[in-house]
Amino acid sequence: MASSLYSNAQHVDFESVLGMDDPGMVSMFEALTASGLRGFLGCPATVYEDALVNFFENAYVRNGVVISTVGGQLVEISEKLFAETFELPIDGLGDLSEMPKDAIFDARSIVSLSGEPINLSGRKNQMKMPFRLLCDIVAKAISVKAGSFNAITVEKFSLMTAVVCGVKMNWEKFLFGVLKKMVTAGSKQAKGFAIQISLLLATFPTVELGESSEFPASKILSKKTVLRFVSINARDGAEEVTGAAKTKAVSKKRPAADLVDVAEEAIPIQQVAEQLDDEEPRCSSADAVDLIIQQVLDETRAADAPADTAGPAVTEEKHWFDLPYDDIVKQWEAERPVVTASDTEDEDIATEDVTPAVGVQQVEEVEAPISAEDVLSADEQMSLDDILLSIPVDIPLPSTCMEVTKIKMGQMIKIPGVTEKTWFLKSLPRIPADDKGKEILVEKDPVKGNPAKEHYSLICADIDLLVDLRTKVIDEVATIQTELSLR
């Protein structure tokens, strides 16, 4: 169905929203107009569903041009045709990675509800109401992303920065790039631009478009739908602030069956849709579901609220495993039943009336005293998790009573009984005990260490060198003379 192509889409009726009494909303839509997106977001809202389905089934990209066949006719959508049809700016940033960092930093404070720079990995309820709506427009009508629209992403916030801070964008390149991703096989880009593609197909006179259908009024941002958006988001924001602390308590106190009962008592979706039709044009199914969820939460909180709010505050009950060990022992001794002996051995042992504490089941009758073997077998049957839970918090573990030796990195490791001398002796060569004292390991040089003998030995070495040289010279001369005489 073609309706799936614009199930999360949004369009803008600029003439209606610019006449609102809300200065913040008007300023935001004026910023959209100044950015050059009015022709793209405010074009005539007409959809050709059959032609759209046919277009996406056959579309592909070749040489930077989107090509498809609709009704057997070839359709080529170039970047130039795309820009001229919607009067898109062609000057400015073509890639969001080129967005100035100082502009993003300023925008984080401008859109913030608290005045502090918002977290780019947070949710859109951190922003003022006009910029929450702008976040939806950016996600659904410009970047066309599937998934959660409440989360803030870097891409969405960069597009918001371009609008809020007046950064010039090459919307022709960016939006046409989104269209090319839509028709690229294997791309994760969601399908969209239903109104814009229908208007582009209408520019081809030979293409049979079929019957046209009006775009759903609930998806067109007019004065009425914007006020509804403000009302729903303001209510949800107030519930998040006042009811955040109660959510955890509701989940603990009320079982799942109680929530089911409350949900069954809520208004059916069909009835909610009929009420919305009576008051104003029908909104999306997500709005009806939000209304049902809100009513379930209201009835749940009303059921959990005390009947007399002026009465004394109810003290939260403490579990036995949260009590100190001494209190547990005292409570167990106070609650232990007193056993009275009977007149005969055959009669059962009765217990006196003892009022048990909260959370402890009252023992009405005991057949026999509990022996040590029974207690031991019960302990043996407990799992490790149950045993750990039964240990009181105030009792220290044995490991906490011992002094732990701290290991300091970067210092020398010392081993008791081992010194530097020990390491040195370990590196010396080992001599068998039988060979010790029989031979000199290394003979002492008689010359080394005696200056006179060293000097004499050097002189002798020089004389030997000169004699060798003289002998070589004589031999060379004799050889030359012999050769000359032969010649």
pLDDT tens series, the chain, 487 aa: 566 777 778 899 999 999 999 999 999 999 999 999 999 999 988 888 888 888 999 999 999 999 999 988 899 999 999 999 999 998 888 888 889 989 999 999 999 998 888 888 888 888 999 999 999 899 888 988 766 678 888 888 899 999 999 999 999 999 999 999 999 988 888 888 889 999 999 999 888 888 888 888 888 999 999 998 888 888 765 555 555 545 554 444 444 444 334 344 444 444 434 444 444 444 444 455 556 666 666 666 665 555 444 444 444 455 665 666 677 777 777 766 554 444 444 444 344 444 444 444 443 444 445 554 554 566 666 666 677 666 665 566 565 666 666 666 666 667 777 777 777 777 777 777 776 666 666 666 777 778 888 888 888 888 999 999 999 999 988 888 888 888 7
Strand order in the sheet with 60-62: 60-62, 65-70, 73-77
| Alpha helices for 183-218 (secondary structure H) | 194-201
Last residue of a domain, one of 189, 221, 253: 221
Res 314: pLDDT: 43
Cα gap 350→364, rounded to integer Å: 8
Res 364: pLDDT: 41
The answer to whether 292 touches 269, Cβ cutoff 8 Å, is yes
Q: Is residue 169 located within the same domain as residue 238?
A: no
Cα gap 338→352, rounded to integer Å: 6
Q: Is residue 200 located within the same domain as residue 252?
A: no
Task: Judge whether 37 lies within some domain.
Answer: yes
Task: Judge whether 364 lies within some domain.
Answer: no
- Domain total in the chain: 2
Q: Is residue 208 located within the same domain as residue 287?
A: no
The label of the residue with tokens 């069909």 reads 270
Q: Is residue 293 located within the same domain as residue 168?
A: no
What number of other Cβ atoms are within 10 A of residue 328's Cβ?
16
Whole-prediction pTM: 0.51
CA neighbours closer than 13 Å in the CB half-sphere of residue 461: 6
The answer to whether 276 touches 283, Cβ cutoff 8 Å, is yes
Task: Judge whether 243 lies within some domain.
Answer: yes
Res 163: pLDDT: 93
Signed CA dihedral, 40, 46, 51, 53: sign only: positive
Q: Is residue 103 located within the same domain as residue 246?
A: no
Q: Is residue 197 located within the same domain as residue 243?
A: no
Q: Encode burial over 349-387: b for 16+ CB neighbours within 10 A, e otherwise.
A: eebeeeeeeeeeeeeeeeeeeeeeeeeeeeeeeeeeeee
Q: Is residue 31 located within the same domain as residue 142?
A: yes
Res 149: pLDDT: 74
Q: Is residue 113 located within the same domain as residue 51?
A: yes
Strands 220-221 vs 11-12: parallel, antiparallel or unpaired: parallel
Res 266: pLDDT: 40
The label of the residue with tokens 């010790």 reads 436
The answer to whether 191 touches 182, Cβ cutoff 8 Å, is yes
Task: Judge whether 464 lies within some domain.
Answer: no
Q: What are phi and psi of 113, to 5 degrees?
A: -80, -35
Q: How buried is 213 (Cβ within 10 angstroms: 0-12 exposed, 13-18 middle, 19+ buried)?
A: middle
Q: Supply angle C-alpha 15, 20, 24, rounded to 5.
A: 115
Q: Is residue 259 located within the same domain as residue 239?
A: yes
Task: Judge whether 287 lies within some domain.
Answer: yes
Cα gap 11→221, rounded to integer Å: 6
The answer to whether 157 touches 121, Cβ cutoff 8 Å, is no
Q: Is 34 helix (H, G, I), strand (E, B) or coil?
A: helix
Task: Judge whether 204 lies within some domain.
Answer: yes
Task: Judge whether 387 lies within some domain.
Answer: no
Last residue of a domain, one of 221, 241, 266: 221
Last residue of a domain, one of 177, 205, 221: 221
The answer to whether 152 touches 121, Cβ cutoff 8 Å, is yes
DSSP assignment of 118-146: PPTTSBGGGB-HHHHHHHHHIIIIIS---
Question: Phi-psi category of 385—alpha, beta or left, where left has phi over 0 and alpha has psi -120 to 50?
Answer: alpha
- What are the tokens at 293? 């969820």
Domain that holds residue 282: 229-304
Give the per-residue SS3 of 13-24. Answer: CHHHHCCCCCHH
Q: Is residue 135 located within the same domain as residue 238?
A: no
Cα–Cα separations (whole angstroms), residue 52 to 8, 55, 200, 472: 16, 5, 11, 107
Q: Is residue 185 located within the same domain as residue 272?
A: no
Q: Is residue 46 located within the same domain as residue 63?
A: yes
Task: Judge whether 451 lies within some domain.
Answer: no
Q: If residue 107 lies in a helix (H) or strand (E), which one and from where to where? A: helix 101-110
